[in-house]
Chains A and B, each alone.
Chain A
Amino acid sequence: MNKEGEIIIHLENVSKYYPMGDTIVKAVNGVTISVRKGDFVVLMGPSGSGKSTSMHLIGSLDVPTRGKVFLKNKNISSMSESELAILRGKNVGFIFQQFNLIPTLTVKENIMLPMSLQGYSLEEKEKKVNGLLEKLGLSDRANHFPNQISGGQQQRVAIARALANDPEVILADEPTGNLDSATGKKVMEFLSKLHKEGKTIVMVTHEFDLIKDYAHIIYWLRDGKVERVAKGPGK
């Protein structure tokens, strides 16, 4: 664990409740999680353990019912929707299990999208995107649409998109869940490479084998609570 790193994201005794019919589902219930700069944090647990909800809170996609979430020392609970969007767009890159590319946009346009939303000029976007396409081996797929490329390639596009705005933190929600094991392994190697380049990684998974070589710190979640925190073998 990188003790020296400053805390980028901090969840302090955070709860998230959803109403479902007459009952209230306590998806996350009193969780405290810290993500330091340069960490490789893994949230592990069975389905329904609250790991995805925790991840949404970490990525400021959602605001907690109780508790405080700090992103770069700013309490997101008191932020407007627009401020959150800007914060998210600049500091966090999401990678999803379902890839979540925009079907009507080409590979290149998908990667550019986060930059467009931040108002970068076309020149800046072109430069950045060409670099990313090359880095992820997608140069020959730049003008394809998502449904014209394989799952592994789609996930690489999603990774490139997550990197477009040069965020400090990459949030990966079961990034290999929809891929065969060989392709999944490549994705993990790539995440590890990004980590070594200095990115902070937060990953959600239920497969311990996948992350056992990379994780610094593992939060085991169950029923919306942190069951235990363990150091990983990473670094």
Chain B
Amino acid sequence: MEYFLFALRNLRRKGVRSWLTLLGICIGIAAVVSLISLGDGLKIAVASQFGISSTELITVTAGGSGFSAPGSDVVKPLTKSDVDAIGRISSVDFALARNIETVSVDFNNKVIFTSATSIPDGDEKNFYKITDLETIGGRLLKDGDSKKVLIGYSLSQGSKNGFDKDITAGKKISILGENFTVAGVLKKQGSFVVDGIVFMHNSELENLSKYGDNVDIIAVKVKDKDLINRTKIDIEKLMRERRNVPVDGEDFKVSTPEASLAQVNQILTAIQIFIVIIAFISIIIGAFGIANTMTTSVLERRKEIGIMKSIGAKNSQIFMQFFVESGFLGIIGGVLGILLGISLGYIGTFQINNFFGANTSPQLNFGLIFFSLFGSFFIGVLSGIFPAMKAAKQNPVEALTG
């Protein structure tokens, strides 16, 4: 069709102006496509920041339903006896006490501050079961190990740990002034929290930090996944009695992975809405850009319109010429946007995988791609309708004589 030839030639003639016009549509489509391509990657990225693992664990922390630092002094702390009491609930497989303390670590004549978390003495097996810890060097801690620690992957890397030197299994480090041997380096977990910290036996961490019977987090493994919600209610009831607080006046929090995931999804939805709004705005700007370019184009090409009419072009043919041209602008913007969006999706997924040790792949949704193409073409022609009508209505003599 001549219309397409015409449209392409004219877009090329306008050069930079055509490209600038495409930008709005291009960015809008790219935002939507990249967002969708990221898919699971984004979810994992957000989830890992919350330290949510895939296991079906209930966690109990002190404090209200708001955010408060674990072990903070303003709330009544959880205790060892709470752990034992929860462990006796019939649907509970086991309950583990976990403490997290801030410690200074001394290595290679440099000092950094990080967190140390406790491994219950004698309950190592259960602990590893819920945390999925594995080593890439050395071995995990076992009962009876003395003055031995595990370190997270990032902490072992000289380029990331702040010591400018790799820490490998067998190396000695000083924690809060006491010397420890690194028994093992942990496999990358994909979380800032886990990858940057030290794991040591509870008895030894208690020795350093003197928290006595206080417990920061109680991790509860349920016998059956289906019992999670019932167990949660049981734990809440038990803890209310033990802490002597009324319903809705809880000074502790029992969270299930589902609740945490819901929170992640909420954040994710907020991010998605935000990006969709940006995309929407840029597409609208893009539409106005196309309308503007086409209107200018009609004015510039008045004479051409006059010539076309003098050699027999009908109004509808003039209309089509401009209409197709603006549709082209839209669809080229769409194609570039899709390519850019897919690239961003791939780069984003790659970065997420790299950063969080996740293994997600970008999701190409062909329905979405088709919809984007159609949508951008539609926006193009929609913005072109009025300029094209204006072009078609030109009086040939006026157009010819300028």
Contacts and interface: CB of A to CB of B under 8 A. Distances in A.
Interface of A: 53, 56, 59, 61-62, 81-82, 85-86, 88-90, 93-94, 96, 100-105, 109, 113-114, 116-118, 161-162, 165
19 contacts: A61-B309, A62-B397, A81-B314, A81-B315, A82-B316, A86-B312, A88-B311, A88-B312, A89-B311, A102-B308, A104-B6, A104-B13, A105-B9, A113-B308, A114-B312, A117-B313, A117-B314, A118-B312, A162-B311
A61 B313 CA distance: 11
B9 A104 contact: yes
B9 A88 contact: no
Contact of A100 (B9, B13, B307, B397): B307
A114 B314 contact: no
A179 B400 CA distance: 20
B311 A62 contact: no
Given A88-B309, A104-B10, 10 more contacts: A62-B396, A62-B397, A82-B316, A85-B312, A85-B313, A86-B314, A100-B306, A104-B6, A117-B308, A117-B311
A53 B6 CA distance: 30
B311 A82 contact: no
B297 to A, nearest CB: 12
Contacts of B390: none
Contacts of B313: 85, 89, 117
B397 A85 contact: no
B317 interface: yes
Nearest to A85: B314
Interface in B308-363: 308-317
A62 B397 CA distance: 7
Interface string B1-15: 010011001100100
Given A62-B396, A62-B397, A102-B304, A85 B315 contact: yes
B198 to A, nearest CB: 71
B303 interface: yes
A61 B312 CA distance: 9
Nearest to A100: B307
B312 A165 contact: yes
A94 B6 contact: no
Contacts of A116: 2
Contacts of B5: 109
A222 to B, nearest CB: 20
A114 B397 contact: no
A82 B314 CA distance: 5
The CB with the most chain A CB atoms within 10 A, among B304, B307, B313, B316, is that of B307
Contact of B311 (A56, A103, A161): A161
Nearest to B10: A104
Nearest to A61: B396
B314 A61 contact: no
A85 B392 CA distance: 12
A117 B305 CA distance: 13
Interface of B: 2, 5-6, 9-10, 13, 303-304, 306-317, 395-397, 400
A101 to B, nearest CB: 8
A49 to B, nearest CB: 16
B8 to A, nearest CB: 9
Given A56-B397, A62-B396, A100-B303, A117 B317 contact: yes
Given A56-B397, A82-B315, A88 B6 contact: no
The 6 residue pairs across chains A and B that have the minimum distance between CB atoms:
A89-B312, A104-B9, A85-B314, A114-B311, A100-B307, A82-B314
Contacts of B306: 100
Contacts of B395: 62
A85 B5 CA distance: 22
Contact of B397 (A61, A109, A117, A162): A61
Nearest to A99: B307
Nearest to A105: B9
A20 B98 CA distance: 91
Contact of B400 (A100, A118, A165): A100
A61 B310 CA distance: 6
The CB with the most chain A CB atoms within 10 A, among B9, B311, B317, is that of B311
A48 to B, nearest CB: 13
A107 to B, nearest CB: 14
Contacts of B310: 59, 61, 88, 94, 96, 100
Nearest to B312: A89
A200 to B, nearest CB: 17
A114 B311 CA distance: 6
A217 B109 CA distance: 110
A146 to B, nearest CB: 11
Nearest to B11: A104
Nearest to B317: A117
A114 B312 CA distance: 6
Nearest to A52: B401
Contacts of A114: 311-312
A72 B343 CA distance: 63
A81 B396 CA distance: 10
Contacts of A118: 312
B53 to A, nearest CB: 62
Given A61-B396, A117-B314, A117-B317, A85 B10 contact: no
Contacts of B9: 104-105
A109 B4 CA distance: 13
A113 B307 CA distance: 11
A104 B297 CA distance: 14
Given A61-B396, A88-B312, A114-B312, A102 B317 contact: no
Nearest to B315: A81
Nearest to A165: B312
